[in-house]
Structure 1
């Protein structure tokens, strides 16, 4: 909801959303749209693009995504289709 507060994802700095946890594992919670409003899949691709554009993947060995398992819209398949994730 930080992007909604700021007005756009471009107004957010990487350091504001990346938290370093146990054993230096970096974590990001991207959130999602209000229930019944928008497409969560679109939020996922927006979050991944933001992380890529701001260098979040530049020095990591492994990336894991934990996303909803149900497919309400086609948006959840977008990261896989665009080569940003593997099934």
Structure 2
């Protein structure tokens, strides 16, 4: 979404967050293009975006499912 919008600054919280069953807030952040950048940086960018846009207000619990089996920069290489 950020690539299509121009940058993460051009996104609104409504663009990335969906409200599910019993008002559960769901977000999928994605990551950089294959072979470019760092998946960890995408996680940090996502968390910062959510904090800056009030996603953590009035919630009781946060659960993250993050990509943890890759290293920065080379995971798209054969």
TM-score range, shorter chain: 0.7 to 0.9
Higher helix share: 1
Name the structure 2 match of 1:47: 46
What are the ranges of 5 or more consecutive residues in structure 1 without an aligned counterpart?
74-87
What are the ranges of 5 or more consecutive residues in structure 2 without an aligned counterpart?
73-78
> CA RMSD, aligned part only?
1.1
Give the Å deviation of 1:45: 0.3
Deviations 1:28-51 (A, max 9, x none): 010111222110100110000000
Structure showing greater relative contact order (alpha-carbon pairs closer than 8 Å, 6 or more residues apart): 2
Give the Å deviation of 1:8: 1.0
Give the Å deviation of 1:69: 2.5
Where do 1:1-87 residues align within 5 Å?
2-73=1-72
Q: Structure 1 stretches (4+) deviating beyond 2 angstroms?
A: none
TM-score (ref. length: structure 2)? 0.85
Q: Distance in 1 between matches of 2:11 and 2:34?
A: 23
Q: Distance in 2 between matches of 1:49 and 1:56?
A: 10
Count of matched residue pairs: 72
